Amino acid sequence: MSNSAVDILIVGAGPAGLFLAAQLAKINAFHASRTRVGEPAKRIDYRIVDKAEHKVLVGHADGFQCRTVEVFQSLGIAHRVVHEGCEVAEVVFYNPDPDVDSGKGGLKETQRVIDTEPGTSFFRHYLLGQARVEQFLLDLMREEDNTFVEQLMDPTSFEMADDVNSTEYPITVKLRHLAPSVSDGKNKEDSKSGLYRSNLFATETVSTVPEPDKDADEVIKARYMVGCDGARSWVRKQIGLELKGDSANTYWGVVDAIPITDVGILSTSDQYSRLLTKTFLLVFAIVTNNSPEECHSFRRIRVDFNRAPGARLCSVSRLAERFYVQLGRLEPGERVNRNEVTIEKIIEKAQSIVKPYRLECADVEWYTCYEIGQRLCDTFEKQERVFIAGDACHTHSPKAGQGMNTSMMDTYNLGWKLASVIHGTAHPSILSTYQTERHAVANDLIEFDRKIAGLFSGKPATREEAGVSLDEFHALWKKMGKWTTGTAIEYAQSSVVANVKQQSFGIRPELATGILIGSHFENHPAICCGTAQDIQLQHRLISDGRWRIMLYPGDIRNPAVSDRLKSVCENLDGDDGIIRRYTPTGDIDSVIQVLTVFATPRLEVEKQALPEILKPKRSPYGVPAWDTIFADDKSHHTGDSKAYIGYGIKADNDVGCAVLVRPDQYVAGVWADTDIEKLGEY
Ligand code: FAD
């Protein structure tokens, strides 16, 4: 039996686990880029294990929120989402047509609404299969850090030292290397069926478990362990936690298929133009034909048809429709037997809903069935050494496309904190904020989901009968728009978010009225003084584990501003200044990077004359690109940049603004630039 030790053991390689590994890979790659060849690079040692034979190949989650695309941008992979995903432009509502005899059914387009309110994000909302998303993360791990998922690894025992600080590696996990036939997973003969991984009750048991190869078993010791092992989490059980909440009361079928249909915009006659334009209309059809429970939604998704395990990626990439069909209701305690759910039954139900229109599914890519229940763990960690993330700590319906996004954003929140603690640049107490911040998000999400799922599953109002009115549905949909884009999150005051009410550590939120403390740093363009490109400032906040101080000194042509900036930088760069105090090695911007935006025409910013701390730092190789100095100025192509207006910055002769941004792009606080010591104290 082999033994090894790691900083972080990640159990489960779905979206949550892969995102964590990808983020750590990015952080490692940054430190490697600052290290000379032959010298050891500062590195987080992590392993990611999964008991299934391979990643998800088809189906599962498909919604990609704007905020998640922003975060992918910070990892350098948003272009893949934008290229392959289907952009959601509008939501179209269908309802029973009151002019059609209710016995025959009938649908009518009743309203179209914009999907993402203008100004919400630089990016849009996309639909893209989980299989592709997982692939992007795997590619990033390989390219940035040469790391891989270790498949067919099944954890069998767990121990944690009573005093977790008494030993370097307090966690011990034993893993069994599985033979392919033992994995319960993703590669069963019928790759179209996602039922094996759905949350439905399975009557079958694995009857032929071969004797495990004892020599191949392994003991891994770890400083930290993160359970990203889904709704039936093994890690959650080891630390004595359980998902609590509503038991399911409805169950749904999901199908990815190319339909042959004459229902409204789903007509397949424009197949070719669809592929060219990739524009997408999301359709929610609320339908009734005597049965009040029948509701469904259609959305377009890009899928890789006929992909067998191991086949070349994207061999047959086509646009399909995904539809969700409510199959039935459940009494308390009642469970659905997955063996009784077939693709034929799901399609039959969908056909009965869209009657008198035609709906046939010639080419089915994937289908599944699941029960909807909103559940949440009381806490997401044990002794700040073992954490759970994603579906392991919260489950909800996929109605608003939150599952995959929230799971990845959980580990986005956790990854940089773990890395900072392991690198020794943050106190371990920072880890408690994972639980406080993400539990609050999950709680809000479940409340939101309960409302949305209630409306989807509710009986639509008709002329004859009361029920869920379209107005009610639209109103909630609009109100929740920020939720569905992922941009609504506002972390509460903690050691990593300054207290706005008490104006702790001398923060001055009024100096940047367009910036919300506790929320993500939003996007506004500015012009890069070095390259003349118009740059989205948020895009400069790369997820490489670094904090950023965004300085907005004002117009440097003004001698008062220039003098003030000099003294601010002396403070920043001094031996006792915030940057050197928190940067143990000589690599001065490796913990905190300073980015400066001037309210000055870019050619009038004398870059060479600027204080050293503002200039870009050189990696051991290459030339600095002046990519830390920006100006509010005219772009050659896109008009005036308006960063000062966008962020609501107040800067004059006496005061400028310094915004502290966490490694996950959330704003920790806003200070006057003259109060840099206070920022340092914070
Ligand atoms: P998962 O994706 O569940 O990943 C968990 C990983 O852990 C898996 O790779 C699994 O093999 C592995 N694992 C499990 N147990 C162990 C163990 N003991 N040891 C090692 N590895 C283990 N969301 C939407 O937004 N829209 C949808 O339409 C949608 N449809 C879905 C359909 C189905 C059938 C399912 C199951 C989920 C669906 N979801 C949907 C939800 C979405 O897929 C999840 O929210 C998201 O995948 C959660 O990511 P995760 O990484 O937390 O967990």
Where are the domains positioned within the chain?
2-79+131-243+375-445, 85-124+245-374, 504-681
Plot region of 583 (φ>0 → left; ψ -120 to 50 → alpha; else → beta):
beta
Question: pLDDT-based confidence at 624, cuts 50/70/90?
Answer: low
Residue of the CA atom closest to atom 37 of ligand 1: 60
Please report the pLDDT score of residue 319 as a whole number. 62
Has residue 618 got a pLDDT over 50?
yes
The highest-confidence range among 166-170, 309-313, 351-355, 612-616, by mean pLDDT, is: 166-170
Ligand 1 lined by 460 (C-beta under 6 Å): no
Torsion sign over Cα 69, 73, 75, 79? positive
Distance (Å) from CA 64 to ligand 1 centroid: 15
Identical fold for domains 2-79+131-243+375-445 and 85-124+245-374, yes or no, is no
Instruction: Read off the pLDDT of each residue in 571-583 and give the average, rounded to a whole number.
Output: 87
CATH assignment of 2-79+131-243+375-445, among 1.10.645.10, 3.50.50.60, 3.40.50.2300, 3.30.1130.10: 3.50.50.60
Question: pLDDT-based confidence at 283, cuts 50/70/90?
Answer: very low
Of residues 295 and 291, more confidence is placed in 295
Question: pLDDT-based confidence at 588, cuts 50/70/90?
Answer: confident
Q: At residue 676, what are phi and psi to the nearest 5 degrees? A: -60, -30
Name the residue of 177, 195, 229 whose CB sits within 8 Å of the most ligand 1 atoms, as the mutation to test its pocket: 229
Question: pLDDT-based confidence at 114, cuts 50/70/90?
Answer: confident
Question: pLDDT-based confidence at 181, cuts 50/70/90?
Answer: low
Residue of the CA atom closest to atom 52 of ligand 1: 390
Question: Which tokens in the block code for residue 218?
Answer: 């392994």
Whether 632 contacts 644, CB under 8 Å: yes
Ligand 1 lined by 229 (C-beta under 6 Å): yes
Question: Which tokens in the block code for residue 190?
Answer: 């019928």
Please report the pLDDT score of residue 185 as a whole number. 46
Question: pLDDT-based confidence at 454, cuts 50/70/90?
Answer: low
Alpha carbons within 13 A on the beta-carbon side of 503: 8
Share of the chain above pLDDT 70, in %: 77
What's the rounded Cα separation, in Å, for the pair 206 and 512? 60
Question: Which tokens in the block code for residue 539?
Answer: 């895009």
- Strands laid side by side in the 244-245 sheet: 244-245, 375-376, 394-395
Residue of the CA atom closest to atom 47 of ligand 1: 404
Q: Give CA separation, 231 vs 115, 206, 407, 428, 474, in Å.
A: 29, 20, 11, 28, 31
Name the residue of 48, 199, 407 whose CB sits within 8 Å of the most ligand 1 atoms, as the mutation to test its pocket: 407
What's the rounded Cα separation, in Å, for the pair 620 and 437? 37
Q: Helix (H, G, I), strand (E, B), or coil: what is residue 371?
A: strand
* Residue at 538: amino acid letter: Q
Please report the pLDDT score of residue 479 as a whole number. 65
As for the ipTM of the complex, it is: 0.97
Ligand 1 lined by 398 (C-beta under 6 Å): yes
Of residues 276 and 149, more confidence is placed in 149
Q: Looking at domain 504-681, does it have CATH number 3.40.30.20?
A: yes
Residue of the CA atom closest to atom 29 of ligand 1: 61
What's the rounded Cα separation, in Å, for the pair 107 and 270? 21
pLDDT digits (tens, 9 = 90+) for 301-352: 555 443 433 333 333 445 667 778 878 877 877 888 878 888 999 888 888 7
pTM: 0.89
Has residue 277 got a pLDDT over 80?
no
Please report the pLDDT score of residue 467 as a whole number. 53
Q: Helix (H, G, I), strand (E, B), or coil: what is residue 375?
A: strand
pLDDT digits (tens, 9 = 90+) for 505-549: 889 999 999 999 999 999 999 999 988 999 999 999 999 999 999
Ligand 1 lined by 230 (C-beta under 6 Å): yes
Q: Helix (H, G, I), strand (E, B), or coil: what is residue 374?
A: coil
Please report the pLDDT score of residue 585 as a whole number. 72
Distance (Å) from CA 129 to ligand 1 centroid: 13
* Residue at 177: amino acid letter: H
Please report the pLDDT score of residue 108 as a whole number. 67
CATH number listed for the domain at residues 85-124+245-374: 3.30.9.10
Has residue 102 got a pLDDT over 60?
no
Q: Which residues are catalytic?
A: 62, 318, 324, 398
Ligand 1 lined by 616 (C-beta under 6 Å): no
Of residues 373 and 588, more confidence is placed in 588
Of residues 663 and 63, more confidence is placed in 663
Please report the pLDDT score of residue 248 as a whole number. 62
List, in order, residues 6 or more apart from 259 with CB less than 8 Å away.
266, 268, 321, 323, 359, 360, 361, 362
Please report the pLDDT score of residue 476 as a whole number. 67
**Quick one: which of 391, 376, 9, 21 has its CA closest to 230?**
391
Please report the pLDDT score of residue 306 as a whole number. 37
Has residue 51 got a pLDDT over 70?
yes
Distance (Å) from CA 363 to ligand 1 centroid: 24
Whether 368 contacts 194, CB under 8 Å: yes
Ligand 1 lined by 253 (C-beta under 6 Å): no
